Amino acid sequence: MDAHALATTYRVPSNIAWIDGADFGMREELYLTALPSGQTVLLEDTGRLIWLVAMEGGEVLERVAEVVGLPLAAIESDVTRFLAEVTTRGLLAGSLTLPRSD
Q: What is the count of structural domains for the chain?
A: 1
Give the model confidence (pLDDT) of 56-92 as tens digits.
988 999 999 999 999 999 999 999 999 999 999 999 9
Structural domain containing residue 59:
7-96
**Contact between 57 and 10 (Cβ < 8 Å):** yes
Residue 78 lies in a domain: yes
Give the model confidence (pLDDT) of 21-60 as tens digits.
999 989 999 999 999 988 999 999 999 999 999 999 889 9
Residue 82 lies in a domain: yes
3-state class percentages of the chain: helix first, strand second, coil last, to nearest 5:
40, 25, 30
Residue 1 lies in a domain: no
Q: What pLDDT does residue 7 have?
A: 79
Residue 2 lies in a domain: no
Residue 101 lies in a domain: no
Residue 27 lies in a domain: yes
Residue 47 lies in a domain: yes
**Contact between 16 and 35 (Cβ < 8 Å):** yes
Q: How many CA atoms lie within 13 A of 53 on its CB side?
A: 22
Q: Flag whether pLDDT at 1 surpasses 50.
A: no
Output the domain CATH number for residue 30. 3.90.930
Q: How far apart are CA 24 and CA 75, in angstroms?
A: 29
